[in-house]
A and B are shown apart, each in its own frame.
Chain A
Amino acid sequence: MSEMSIIEIHNLDKKFGTNTVLSDLSLNLEAGKIIGLLGPNGCGKSTLLKIMAGLTSDYKGAVLIDGKNPGQDTKAITSYLPEMTYLSGWMRPKDAFDYFADFYPDFDRVKAQEMLRQFRLDEKQPIKNMSKGMQEKVQLILVMARKAKIYLLDEPMGGVDPASRSAILDVTLKQYQEDSIMIFATHLIADVEKIFDSVIFLGYGELKLFEEVDQIREKYGKSVDELFREVFACSVSL
């Protein structure tokens, strides 16, 4: 609705067979923000990101990315980090860079090489010889080295140690473009909540909360992590 919103979602419904994953979800998201997408496993975070990334189209409701339906046009301005790896084992970071440079005109190889150095990774090491954490870093580099309007990151820190998490946050904050939007799905809330402007709590398809991080502290006297545990405590005991 508002002109500021770079992402608009109206009454979004998504089912897998008879299983409802997202139900009547509406959201308006502004550019210039880093947003945490939080929720228990299986709550629909990945599905929502896939829809915004233009990878899933059989849903009901309206999704507008920069004013357009997710598709070829919006993929050009959207940099998406999937939960699962899509890189072939034989590839080296160097090959992945070639591939991205071919595919995305906004891919900045110099930036990618710089991040690779920051993570102390070797451009010529095949991906299959890398640890899970190293592979995740390569993927994050690919995604962050694009000059996109929209960054969708699905669990970018799932398999990495705490020191690497901190390095990933550094890179994310350094590369983040002020006029873009970043949506960051994670369950490692305590580690990252301070980098968010606001957070979305998604509880089994429904929007439980959409609030600024500092507003949460002001209102509830709690961190996002603490509030999250409280909000979702009952859904665990069900």
Chain B
Amino acid sequence: MEDCFDSNTPIYLQLVKLFTIRIAGGAWGAGERVMSVRDLAVEFKVNPNTVQRALSELERDSLVYTERTSGRFITGDVNRIREARKNLIDQEVAAFVRQMKQLGFERDQWMAMVEESLKKENV
């Protein structure tokens, strides 16, 4: 888990993204209990209040909810999780396309490169 953080974005926003990836990818299953703030702080080597802030953000995104007596859980709403996954993929694809443009590749050039790369990996 060594430094997956970049230096110019607030840490809590980077945590929101890392947690969302875990939820969208199923590493944190629908309806499961969320790890404790302290354990997350230790795992990511970040301030507990920052973890708290990131989780509140996910709560606002309705990916996580708090049960007054028993703690914090991943949403059981699989549609919401699917939607979050779609958003992440859209962001990644948009970033990729932007970068290809910056590098001066035309659409058919980079499409061909993607095909090539997929062939190599036998996907």
Q: Which residues from chain A contact B10 at a C-beta distance below 8 Å? A: 214, 217-218
Q: How far is the CB of A189 from chain B (nearest CB, A)?
A: 11
> Using a CB-CB cutoff of 8 Å, which residues 74-117 of chain B contact chain A?
none
Question: Complex: how many Å from CA A219 to CA B121?
Answer: 42
Q: Which residues of B contact A (CB under 8 A)?
A: 2, 5, 7-12, 38, 41-42, 44-50, 53
Prevailing SS type, chain A contact patch: helix
Q: Which residues from chain A contact B8 at a C-beta distance below 8 Å? A: 217, 221-223
> Using a CB-CB cutoff of 8 Å, which residues 110-163 of chain A contact chain B?
none
Q: Which residues from chain A contact B9 at a C-beta distance below 8 Å? A: 217
Is A108 located at the chain interface by the 8 A CB criterion? no
Question: Complex: how many Å from CA A5 to CA B49?
Answer: 17
Using A170-B42, A214-B12 as known contacts, say yes or no to A223 and B7 having CB atoms under 8 A apart. Answer: yes
Using A170-B42, A173-B42, A214-B12 as known contacts, say yes or no to A225 and B47 having CB atoms under 8 A apart. Answer: no
Is A13 located at the chain interface by the 8 A CB criterion? no
Query: How many A-B pairs fall under 8 Å by CB?
Result: 53
- Can you name 21 A-B residue pairings with CB atoms under 8 Å? A34-B47, A166-B45, A170-B42, A170-B45, A173-B41, A173-B42, A174-B42, A194-B44, A194-B50, A195-B41, A197-B49, A213-B11, A214-B11, A217-B7, A217-B8, A217-B9, A218-B10, A221-B8, A222-B7, A223-B7, A223-B8
Question: Complex: how many Å from CA A195 to CA B5?
Answer: 13
Contact A195 B7 (CB under 8 A): no
Q: Which residues from chain A contact B48 at a C-beta distance below 8 Å? A: 173, 176, 178
Question: Complex: how many Å from CA A223 to CA B5?
Answer: 10
State which size class the interface on A falls in.
20 to 34
Using A174-B38, A214-B12, A214-B50 as known contacts, say yes or no to A169 and B45 having CB atoms under 8 A apart. Answer: yes
Q: Which residues from chain B contact A33 at a C-beta distance below 8 Å? A: 49
Question: Complex: how many Å from CA A78 to CA B108?
Answer: 66
Q: How far is the CB of B47 from chain A (nearest CB, A)?
A: 5
> Using a CB-CB cutoff of 8 Å, which residues 173-225 of chain A contact chain B?
173-174, 176, 178, 194-197, 213-214, 217-218, 221-223, 225
Is A226 located at the chain interface by the 8 A CB criterion? yes
Closest residue of A by beta carbon distance from B45: A169
Question: Complex: how many Å from CA A218 to CA B53?
Answer: 15
Closest residue of A by beta carbon distance from B40: A173
Closest residue of B by beta carbon distance from A34: B47
Contact B45 A197 (CB under 8 A): no
Q: Which residues from chain A contact B50 at a C-beta distance below 8 Å? A: 194, 197, 213-214
Contact A217 B11 (CB under 8 A): yes
